[in-house]
Amino acid sequence: MPRATEQLRDERFARLVSEAAACHRCSMMCDRRPVLSEKNGPTNARILFIGEAPGRHGADQTRVPFSGDQSGRNFARLLASTGLERDRIFITNAVLCNPRKPSGANRRPTAREIANCSDFLRRQIETIDPTIVVTLGRVALAALGRIEYHRFSLREHVGRICHWNGRLLVPLYHPSPQVLISHRTEREQMRDYRAIGRALRSCGEDR
Ligand code: URA
């Protein structure tokens, strides 16, 4: 199918941004601002990354996914190891708002919050129409499964090129400090990230 024209894509994206801004589906996040704007990346990106949720010291403040906090700094190093420039990728999250505990600390989004945001995620993927989707962590991988069922798991498919819903999918670990310390070292993650280059080359998008 031919890609939508630039103008149509930008119109669809603008609609998505304003609908997300007006969304009040999650009772515990009604006072949050969704992190979705032109700051997420170019709408003509060929590669789309999905994280878990905006962090309170990071994207919730900067309005740019994976920036301003330790996860963002880790992600920047891992991305740099692929040679891919940040301004060539689009980055979003499984949920667009920052989930917090009553104490104010970040928390995992609930299954209900992920379900509530799943239509926004599906529409972002359809609008950007990337050749390659990269999931960062278990929550992002599971969120894709709500859009089109899959049986991929991080344990079995990390750093492998999978086929999902007519696109290439590269499941990767989340770049949070906890994951780097206890599940997947930076060195292992850098090895996993090489799959992105292979995926780009396999579909001629590496130029
Ligand atoms: N920042 C994000 O935007 N997403 C995450 O998953 C973590 C930090």
Question: pLDDT 10s digit of each residue in the chain, 207 long?
Answer: 567 799 999 999 999 999 999 999 999 998 899 999 999 999 999 999 999 999 999 999 999 999 999 999 999 999 999 999 999 999 999 999 999 999 999 999 999 999 999 999 999 999 999 999 999 999 999 999 999 999 999 999 999 999 999 999 999 999 998 888 888 999 999 999 999 999 999 988 875
Q: Which of 144, 45, 133 is nearest to 89 (CA)?
A: 45
198 belongs to a structural domain: yes
pLDDT on residue 205: 80
Q: Indicate whether residue 175 lines ligand 1 (CB < 6 A).
A: no
Direct distance between the N- and C-terminal alpha carbons of the chain, in angstroms, rounded to an integer: 22
- Residue 52 CB less than 6 A away from ligand 1: yes
Q: What is the pLDDT of residue 2?
A: 64
Is 112 a domain residue?
Answer: yes
The number of the ligand 1 atom at minimal distance from the alpha carbon of 94 is: 6
51 Cβ below 6 A of ligand 1: yes
Determine the Cα–Cα distance for residues 110 and 192; give it in Å rounded to an integer.
Answer: 27
* Whole-number Cα distances in Å, 193 to 8, 39, 55, 86, 119: 32, 23, 22, 14, 27
* Residue 78 Cβ contacting ligand 1 at under 6 Å: no
The answer as to whether 41 is a domain residue is: yes
Q: Is residue 207 part of a domain?
A: no
What is the domain extent for residue 196? 6-202
How far, in Å, is the centroid of ligand 1 from the Cα of 176? Answer: 8
H or E stretch at 138: helix 138-147
Q: Is 106's C-beta closer than 6 angstroms to any atom of ligand 1? A: no
Residue type, 98: N
The pTM of this model reads 0.95
Largest CA-CA distance found in the chain, in angstroms, rounded: 48
Calculate how far, in angstroms, residue 112's C-alpha sits from the geometric centre of ligand 1. 18
- Asked whether 66 lines ligand 1 (CB < 6 A), one says yes
Say if residues 178 and 52 touch (Cβ distance below 8 Å): no
- Do the domain assignments include residue 1? no
Q: Is 58 among the domain residues? A: yes
Rg (CA), the chain: 16
Given the structure tokens 């894509």, which residue do they identify? 9
Q: Yes or no: say if 53 and 93 are a contact pair by the CB < 8 Å rule.
A: yes
Q: Which amino acid is at 194?
A: R
CA atoms of 176 and 148, how far apart (whole Å):
26
The reply to whether 16 falls in a domain is: yes
- Predicted local distance difference test score (pLDDT) of residue 206: 73
Structurally, how many domains does the chain consist of? 1
Q: What does the DSSP 8-state code read for residue 100?
A: B
Q: Has residue 73 been placed in a domain?
A: yes
Q: Give the CATH number, domain containing residue 10.
A: 3.40.470.10
